[in-house]
Amino acid sequence: MGFAEREPLPDSSAFFRPIGPGTNARGHFHAAVFPYRPLPKGNISLRETINNLLTTESARTVMHLLADEREFEGVGQTDLMRGACWVGPLRILGPSPQT
């Protein structure tokens, strides 16, 4: 799970980090690591995949996904070797704020 923004907002600067060199985009992401299981090619259903996974397995760990290119003090880059990733816009449900 994670969030990203193309144009950083002042309130999120404490939580979001640059997602890579050459972009102003910032984000904060996590990944749950499960034992290996083959996934079908192409589009897969988020709901079906997560339901099947959580009824048969437990996560081995949850980790931060990082893009830290600092030469000396950086922690490095996280590489997703195999797996699935779902991406979509954030929608806030409920009444619109009054302006």
> What is the rounded CA–CA span in Å between residue 70 and residue 77?
10
- Return the pLDDT at 80: 67
DSSP state of 60: S
What letter would DSSP give residue 14?
T
Query: What tokens were used for 10?
Result: 């002042």
Q: Is 52 left (phi over 0), alpha (psi -120 to 50) or beta?
A: alpha
User: What are the two backbone dihedrals, phi and then psi, of residue 86, each rounded to the nearest 5 degrees?
Assistant: -110, 135
Phi, psi (rounded to 5 degrees) for 19: -95, 0
| Residue 2's pLDDT band (cuts 50, 70, 90) | confident
pLDDT for the residue 72: 59
Tokens of 73: 């003090």
- Give the model confidence (pLDDT) of 6-64 as tens digits: 877 787 778 888 887 788 888 888 888 888 888 888 888 888 888 888 899 888 988 87
For the entire predicted model, the pTM comes to: 0.61
pLDDT score, position 92: 65
Distance CA 14, CA 17 (A): 8
Please report the pLDDT score of residue 69 as a whole number: 63
The domain ranges of the chain are 2-77
CB 64 within 8 A of CB 53: no
Instruction: Render pLDDT for 76-93 as a digit per residue (tens, 0 to 9).
Output: 666 667 777 777 776 666
